[in-house]
Structure 1
Amino acid sequence: MLNARIKLRHLMAFLEVAKRRSFARAAEALAITQPGISKAIRELEEILQTPLFERTSQGVSLTQAGLTLLRHAGPAMRALDEGVSAIGDAHHGGRWLRIGALSTVESRLLPVAIQRWHSASAAGQHDTSVSVVTGASAYLLSRLRLGELDMVVGRMTEAREIGDLYFEHLYYEPLVIVARSGHPLAQVTPVAASQLIAYPWALPPPQTTLRQQVDSFCVRHAITLPPLLLETLSLPVSYRYTLESDALWIAPREAVIEELESGLLKELALPFEAQGGSVGICTNVSMTKSLTRDAFCETLRQVAAERIIPRS
């Protein structure tokens, strides 16, 4: 039985600090004073008789006890929120499936799966809408751990933040180096790695799993990053920048396959990865089992199995 001394305000304060890694930002998000949120955390730590946070140069981080509480409190609060929302759904209709999407699945896998999901809804098989949140793996996985997302889809096996979350492999997706069709390196075979640094690069930002692969590529080929960089996870920004300049784009193959097939972009004759990274579905096993979530995961499996996504 839940300790009667633990109040909802304690858990809300704990989850907000855990999410934002800052007492000040958590207080702002909850519209209370910083002393108020500090008091709530202190009371919770006294009740549990253990520290939940420790201060670092970047803010605060969870202790092992804090991580344990987060693993259970996040999904529990999400379940409570769903219960309250379900009352409103009974009056207004509609439910939501919340999905975190990495750039590796934004172009084909996820849109096709959602289209199929909506077709099933039109056929009367369910009444669940889809909300998609994009971003870096660390951000999305933290929201999944808090119970704010039902799943995260994409390439993330290299992410340290997976921890005790469950990852299901769907297929391998490589990063490729592409340029506009008229680029000086577009017809060069083979391309030497040293030739790449004469041009700007569009690449994933630091602290992302895809950027780790870029850094590994540079180490393998004994090159450094060029002086001009565009760091972004935005596929439209990267595409337009690459199409209208001499920039080189390090992108998931899925994100550029249609442009490669149409001839607008050209893959350089220098393999970036042999097999690529594992793309799949990450879920939080501590969350209440959901038939809706399981059904959408099956839709993702079917789309992947049909090889709508070209494989290396």
Structure 2
Amino acid sequence: MLSSRIKLRHLQAFLEVAKRRSFARAADSLAISQPGVSKTIRELEDVLGAELFERGTQGVALTQAGLTFLRHAGPAIRALEEGVTAVGDAHRGQWLRVGALSTVESRLLPVAIRRWQENAAAEVGVNVVAGSSAFLLSQLRLGELDLVVGRMTEAREIRDLAFEHLYYEPLLLVVGRGHPLAGVDPLVPARLVEFPWVVPPPRTTLRQQVDSFCVRHSLTLPGRLLETLSLPISRRFTQEGDAIWVAPRESVLEDLADGRLVELALPLEGQGGSVGLCTNATMQPSLVLEAFCEVLREVAAEQRIGQATGDA
């Protein structure tokens, strides 16, 4: 039975500290004093009989007990907020909150959203948040997102979240047309470091694949690096210069088809990583979420067929 001593302010303070990893930043967000936040957390820890945070010089981190509590507190608060919104603004319509990784920003997600909204029985808005897998999965765990879509099977943050595989998507090495390495076959790996690279940022799942590729071929990334998950910046930078872009296949299919970009004759990886959708198993899925996931599955199946026939 839920203890009557646990109040809404306890849960709100806990979630803010967990999200911001700092009592001071949580206090600023909640517009209360830092001692007030500390007192509220101590009260919650007393009720639960466990320490929720480890204090350190770099901020605070969740203990194992804190991680366990987070899996339930975040979705519970989010469900309460949704209930208040549904009662107070019933005619406004619903919202679906989707976390998008760069591997699905170009085709899968835009196509699925358009198809879903065209056939939805009710007016539903979609809020898309882009970012790294670590950030998006943390937001999903907190209940701030309904699902995350993209390539993320290598992410440590998945842990107890539910992942459903849709298809495999490889990373490619691509360059602008007219690049000195375009059309060179066979391509000696050592030549790659003669040029700038566009790569995912450190500590992302895609960057892990780049690092593995470099280890396999005894390469050290050049000093002239552009680290970004932005597809428009990466595309423009590659098309107008001599950079080598480590790009998700989906994001460059049209550029490869019309010749704006050229794939190098050296595979970065074989089958690629598993692209799929990730949900929080502790949250009861809404009918809206279930309907959108079904559309995602349909569009993904069409993409798999297109890839198999060479039409994608």
Q: Which category describes the TM-score, using the shorter chain as reference length?
A: over 0.9
Contact 1:15 1:70 in 2 (8 A): yes
Q: Give me the whole-angstrom Cα distance separating, in 2, the residues matched to 1:16 and 1:273.
A: 39
Hey, what does 1:110 align to over in structure 2? 109
Hey, what does 1:24 align to over in structure 2? 24
Q: Give me the whole-angstrom Cα distance separating, in 1, the residues matched to 2:16 and 2:305.
A: 37
Aligned in 2, Cα 1:57/1:254: closer, same or farther, shift over 3 Å?
A: farther
**Amino acid aligned to 2:148:** V
**Amino acid aligned to 2:193:** I
Contact 2:177 2:261 in 1 (8 A): yes
Contact 1:200 1:228 in 2 (8 A): yes
Hey, what does 1:230 align to over in structure 2? 226
Aligned in 2, Cα 1:89/1:309: closer, same or farther, shift over 3 Å?
A: farther
Hey, what does 2:62 align to over in structure 1? 62
Q: Give me the whole-angstrom Cα distance separating, in 1, the residues matched to 2:285 and 2:250.
A: 31
Hey, what does 2:44 align to over in structure 1? 44
Q: Give me the whole-angstrom Cα distance separating, in 1, the residues matched to 2:167 and 2:213.
A: 21
Aligned in 2, Cα 1:52/1:310: closer, same or farther, shift over 3 Å?
A: farther
| Alpha-carbon distance, 1:27 to partner | 1.4
Structure 1: 5+ residue stretches without partners: none
Contact 1:54 1:61 in 2 (8 A): yes
Structure 2: 5+ residue stretches without partners: none
Aligned in 2, Cα 1:210/1:58: closer, same or farther, shift over 3 Å?
A: farther
Normalised TM-score (structure 1): 0.96
| Alpha-carbon distance, 1:85 to partner | 1.0
SS at match of 1:18: helix
The answer to whether the aligner puts 1:138 opposite 2:131 as a matched pair is: no
Q: Give me the whole-angstrom Cα distance separating, in 1, the residues matched to 2:254 and 2:16.
A: 41
**Which stretch shifts more, 280-289 or 150-159?**
280-289
Contact 2:93 2:122 in 1 (8 A): no
| Alpha-carbon distance, 1:89 to partner | 2.9
Aligned in 2, Cα 1:309/1:213: closer, same or farther, shift over 3 Å?
A: farther
Contact 1:89 1:95 in 2 (8 A): no
Hey, what does 1:73 align to over in structure 2? 73
Hey, what does 2:216 align to over in structure 1? 220
Q: Give me the whole-angstrom Cα distance separating, in 2, the residues matched to 1:213 and 1:146.
A: 28
The answer to whether the aligner puts 1:196 opposite 2:192 as a matched pair is: yes
SS at match of 1:73: helix
Q: 1:127 aligns with which of 120, 123, 128?
A: 123
Contact 1:98 1:130 in 2 (8 A): yes
**Amino acid aligned to 2:66:** G
Aligned in 2, Cα 1:196/1:309: closer, same or farther, shift over 3 Å?
A: farther
Q: Give me the whole-angstrom Cα distance separating, in 1, the residues matched to 2:115 and 2:75.
A: 28
Q: 1:298 aligns with which of 274, 283, 294?
A: 294
**Amino acid aligned to 1:222:** S
| Alpha-carbon distance, 1:308 to partner | 6.8
Q: 2:268 aligns with which of 267, 272, 279?
A: 272
Q: Give me the whole-angstrom Cα distance separating, in 1, the residues matched to 2:306 and 2:195.
A: 28
| Alpha-carbon distance, 1:56 to partner | 3.8
SS at match of 1:307: helix
Q: Give me the whole-angstrom Cα distance separating, in 1, the residues matched to 2:179 and 2:88.
A: 55
Deviations 1:233-289 (A, max 9, x none): 100011111111101100100011110111000000000110000000000010023
Q: Which runs of 4+ in 1 moved over 3 A?
A: 308-312
| Alpha-carbon distance, 1:57 to partner | 4.8
The answer to whether the aligner puts 1:150 opposite 2:149 as a matched pair is: no
Q: Give me the whole-angstrom Cα distance separating, in 2, the residues matched to 1:17 and 1:107.
A: 34
The answer to whether the aligner puts 1:208 opposite 2:207 as a matched pair is: no
Deviations 1:56-97 (A, max 9, x none): 45421111110111001100000000001112331x421001
Q: Give me the whole-angstrom Cα distance separating, in 2, the residues matched to 1:7 and 1:52.
A: 16
Q: Give me the whole-angstrom Cα distance separating, in 2, the residues matched to 1:212 and 1:278.
A: 14
Q: Give me the whole-angstrom Cα distance separating, in 2, the residues matched to 1:116 and 1:105.
A: 15
Hey, what does 2:96 align to over in structure 1? 97
**Amino acid aligned to 1:95:** Q
Number of residue-to-residue matches in the alignment: 308
Contact 1:98 1:151 in 2 (8 A): yes
Aligned in 2, Cα 1:193/1:152: closer, same or farther, shift over 3 Å?
A: same
Q: Give me the whole-angstrom Cα distance separating, in 1, the residues matched to 2:29 and 2:213.
A: 40
Q: Give me the whole-angstrom Cα distance separating, in 1, the residues matched to 2:59 and 2:190.
A: 40
Normalised TM-score (structure 2): 0.96
